[in-house]
Amino acid sequence: MKKKNPGSSVKKRKRLLTVVGSKPSDKSAPFLSACMMVKNEEKYLAACLKSIKDIVDEIIVVDTGSEDKTVEIAESFGAKIYHHPWTGDFSLHRNQTISYATGKWIFIIDADEELLFDGPTTVMKEGLKKVPANLDVGIIELKDVQKKQVVMKFNTARLFRRGTVEYQGIIHNQPQTKGGGVFIKGMYLNHYGYDLTPEEKQVKFDRTSSALHIRLEKNPKDYSCYFYLSQIHANCFEHTECVKYGEEYLKHKDELKSTGDGNFNRSIYFTVIHNYMKLGNQEKTKEWLMAGLAEVPGDIDLALSACEFGVWANNPELTVSGAKDFISLYDQFIKNPMAKLNRFIYSLRPEALAYCTMNLAIVQLKEGTKAIELFNKALTETPPQFQSGMVKMLQDSLAAENVPVHVNVSPPGEKQSPVAQRQVLTPPTNLSLPQSVGVGRY
């Protein structure tokens, strides 16, 4: 169903936000409305709508000037389609989608996303029905997928009681709500928008970079632009430009933090650290790693960075502390998804866990090898009546850990045989993780 609407104006926007702020009063209203804004989204739209068509009660689509088959695809899924000319203001169009919804709950989803479930698909509505009356937000996990691999995860607020949310921000639109929220388990979003060809990536970079620089020209204190510039340069493997904008963002850390909780994005430390690693600058990597660990204790990405840097700098203590912190945080986040809060997390992945456990084992095996060598040396000077008892204690202890060790104790006066023959392992080179990408909603 097509519905024509005039272009947006300042006057119209004020009226629209009044509509966005109205709460449903009709008890017979649909329960759940999916709201999307689109423009030339034929690549992913069908998969997105297929994933939600049997879950939601209505699909609201605001099209901002598509020239491909976007509208045709949306119509085939029974979406309610409204047409507004593109203004360059993402939040304006996001709020337009909400204004047309009639459901008690709003579900915000983008055309390049897909809703997936770990089990029954009923968990979304069942979860929303259990949200306490004093809370207005449902939070789910989003996974950024590139080349069929998950490169980042974070919790995102996507479900709102109608009349309780308004989006703000011209490019990186963010929901503004007063009520708290709950995490709904058993479902997640896959985001494919950064799984681009080189040509598509360049077009997206040019569009976003230009818009961000225009924002800075209009408001030099719009410091969040530096964060997003750092991210898009990292995405294009432009490490020098990435750290330049990242450090500029970090210069304004205190100002950003003073404007409200959450306005300083702490994931910038991992981005800067990771890109200085790519540049081979050990001094700057260490500088920002130490600053990040002090600013954001308990950050799983920085724990991985500490382990990586420890291997790179041949610092066993840092390798071990980073690895142990990572292993502990990994277990914590897997058991309790809400422990991540809304932080961007790049390293909650099995290969990162394997990397940390591997290097922890390498360091500990080296230390064990050195200890056994010292034991061998001490044993040669130990009176014979004590040797057998000590060797048995060592064998029993290692056997209890399923570590086979054969020990030969020579008769007094003969040269002692080694307690154990072990190969000393050499740590591998620095783990190459994907770039810090997918942070912004471009």
CATH number at residue 159: 3.90.550.10
Interval 89-118: pLDDT, tens: 888 999 999 999 999 999 999 999 999 999
- What is the average per-residue pLDDT within 296-300? 91
Confirm whether 428 is domain-assigned: no
Confirm whether 185 is domain-assigned: yes
Count the domains in the chain: 1
Whether residue 176 is predicted with pLDDT greater than 70 in this model: the reply is yes
Confirm whether 437 is domain-assigned: no
Confirm whether 299 is domain-assigned: no
Looking at residue 342, its pLDDT comes to 63
Q: In the chain, pLDDT over 90 holds for what percent of residues?
A: 56
Confirm whether 57 is domain-assigned: yes
The string of DSSP letters for 310-365 reads HHHTT-HHHHHHHHHHHHHHHHHHHH-GGGGTT--BS--SHHHHHHHHHHHHHHHH
Confirm whether 401 is domain-assigned: no
State the pLDDT confidence band at 416, using cuts at 50, 70 and 90: very low
Whether residue 429 is predicted with pLDDT greater than 80 in this model: the reply is no
Q: Which domain holds residue 48?
A: 2-191
Confirm whether 285 is domain-assigned: no
The region, left, alpha or beta by phi > 0 then psi within -120 to 50, assigned to residue 180 is beta
Confirm whether 270 is domain-assigned: no
Query: Whose CA is closest to 273, among 257, 293, 298?
Result: 293
pTM beyond 0.75, yes or no: no
